[in-house]
Amino acid sequence: MTVKEIIKKDPEGLIAQAYKLSQKAHAGQKRKTGEPFFIHPLAVADILVSWNMDEETVVAGLLHDIIEDTKTSKEELTKQFGKEIIFLVDGVSKLGKIKYQGVASNISAHAKVENLRKMILALSEDLRVIFVKLADRLHNMKTLAALPAIKQKRIALETEEIYATLAYRLGMQNLSGELHDLSFPFLYPKENEWLLNHIPEKYEARKEYLEKLLPKIKSSLQKHEIEWDSMDFRAKRYSSLYHKLLRHDMDVDKIYDLVAMRIIVKSVSDCYAALGVIHELFPPLPGRIKDYIAMPKPNGYRSLHTTVIAESNKFVEFQIRTEEMHRDNENGIAAHWLYEQKKKGGGNPKKEELSKELSWVEQLRNWQEKYENSTTDPEAFLHAMKIDFFKDRIFVITPKGEVLDLPVGSTPVDFAYHIHTTIGNTCVGAKVNGSFVSLDHELRSGDIVEILIQKNKLPSEDWLKFVKTDGARDKIRVAISQKKTSLTGRRIATNTDLKLIVQDRFGLLKEVTDTVTRSHVNIRHIQTIHQAGNQFPVLKLQCQTTDKEKISRLILKLKKIKGVREITYTLT
Ligand code: MN
């Protein structure tokens, strides 16, 4: 099915309406490829249809670039398509604002990736936002060659590290692999060339070899009365092949699953029966039998895998699974929720049902498990993945596309202090998603927050009543107490009294006064005090300044004068 076919069937439906509106709104716009812009939202919608997405999601796909790139207003769209769809469209626009910079940025790449993942998760109160974004990214990656080189690299890196990973974790194996493959040539151009020169031939040879095995396998399955739906070959993707080759001295012959044979059977018991048949035909390689049916991968992948020693002593990997497993493996969560909904006989799944069906919490646990067993900084990830943590945090975006996480209930003031103390102290106003808000406005996940500052402004005591973070509260208190001292300072203190304990000698006093004068400090009064019982006299200078920095520089200089033993000062 395609969007155009759907429209033919239902020319008045929401999809048809969205098609018309999007086509009109984007009219005249061109993509970097030179094609009319509209082919992009249409392609995105077609991808969503191919994933069996519901009507709302397909509509969101058609409209996803409308708020950002055209004059159509959100209000207009809401009127025609309803809040739910606009929520999806809006979510996609927000995700689009995040610019992943990878290692090049000043915060650690790891922190940045995690931030983004958290952000993406937070936005996915409705996972369909992610589906649209993934479809958007998939199509953009297919036309990435049209962009300038520097952009290609950034987008490819973002795709590799964020979206492909995300797709994998959502169990969308197919998409994840495709995204990896699409980014690969941009991230590893030389390696890609090497693969192009060395692999296609090998793929072909492998396929030919496997095709020759087919009759033998088919007749054996028939003999055991095992029905199969299909048998095909799965060529290993370049991106994952490359990573595997690195571990095998770039020796392609050591990659057993360069091309794997995939058998789709009718039932779970047929899976095991077929595995038995294969093992009867060819001896299995010890340690290579994997039962992902009994023990699915953390992302939900189910299948039986085995590597056998086939004709001419060649290793062959077999993957055996049912149709349902296959569909779930390829499309993951996307396939799953729709299937469940259809089974129930319901129409389009509602948002609340969706989140239940997705067992989102379970997914998070799976991720956590996976990371516990992996080597990628498990501590940071575990921390980030704590369910509670997610519940109590929001993720907001700076105008530069950085993601900050803050506790629920945080305000622009918390945000400002989180960026920098000075920004907090001098903050006078805030814009959220482009509109002015009050400083006590409660921020929400996905908000894009911009802080307006005014130099030399000081925080207000009232802020303490609404800020949420301890960091902001502490900094406000410090700034206020400094403000009070400096205010009282200005009112009363105009002078600084220096007390020097000296070992008097000829010329000392002159040296002291010269030093003070050279520091551009006026001396209002000098007094030498001889205290009874004290071996050394005290030289008291009243200086006409309260400038702390000036005073401390002066004190340093005075201390160098021979005979000066100790200096204290007070503001008067
Ligand atoms: Mn787009």
Q: 186 or 125: whose pLDDT is higher?
A: 186
Spatial CA neighbour of 234 closest among 256, 257, 218: 257
Q: 252 or 453: whose pLDDT is higher?
A: 453
* Mean pLDDT along residues 371-385: 42
Task: Identify whether the C-beta of residue 459 lies closer than 8 Å to the C-beta of residue 479.
Answer: yes
pLDDT digits (tens, 9 = 90+) for 397-417: 777 766 677 888 999 999 999
- Sketch out the chain's domains with CATH numbers: 3-177 (1.10.3210.10), 196-326 (3.30.460.10), 393-488 (3.10.20.30), 496-571 (3.30.70.260)
Give the single-character DSSP code of 401.
S
What is the reported pLDDT for 357?
A: 36
278 CA from centroid of ligand 1 (Å): 46
Give the single-character DSSP code of 267.
S
Distance CA 237, CA 444 (A): 40
Label residue 82 by pLDDT band (50, 70, 90). very high
Q: Which of 350-354, 478-482, 556-560 is least confident? A: 350-354
What is the reported pLDDT for 243?
A: 82
Spatial CA neighbour of 445 closest among 433, 435, 457: 433
N-to-C CA span, the chain:
85
Q: Which of 92-101, 398-407, 444-453 is least confident? A: 92-101
What is the reported pLDDT for 296?
A: 76
Protein residues within 5 Å, CB atom, of ion ligand 1: 65, 136
**382 pLDDT higher than 80:** no
What is the reported pLDDT for 216?
A: 93
133 CA from centroid of ligand 1 (Å): 8
The angle at the Cα of 366, spanning 360 to 367, to the nearest 5 degrees, equals 95
The radius of gyration computed from the CA coordinates of the chain, to the nearest angstrom, equals 34
Q: Helix, strand or coil for residue 420?
A: coil
What is the reported pLDDT for 272?
A: 92
33 CA from centroid of ligand 1 (Å): 14
pLDDT digits (tens, 9 = 90+) for 242-272: 888 888 888 887 788 888 999 999 999 999 9
Strands, DSSP E only, in 438-515? 449-453, 496-502
Distance CA 477, CA 497 (A): 29
Label residue 523 by pLDDT band (50, 70, 90). confident
40 CA from centroid of ligand 1 (Å): 7
* Mean pLDDT along residues 340-358: 44
Which are the catalytic amino acids?
A: 68-69
Q: Helix, strand or coil for residue 344?
A: coil
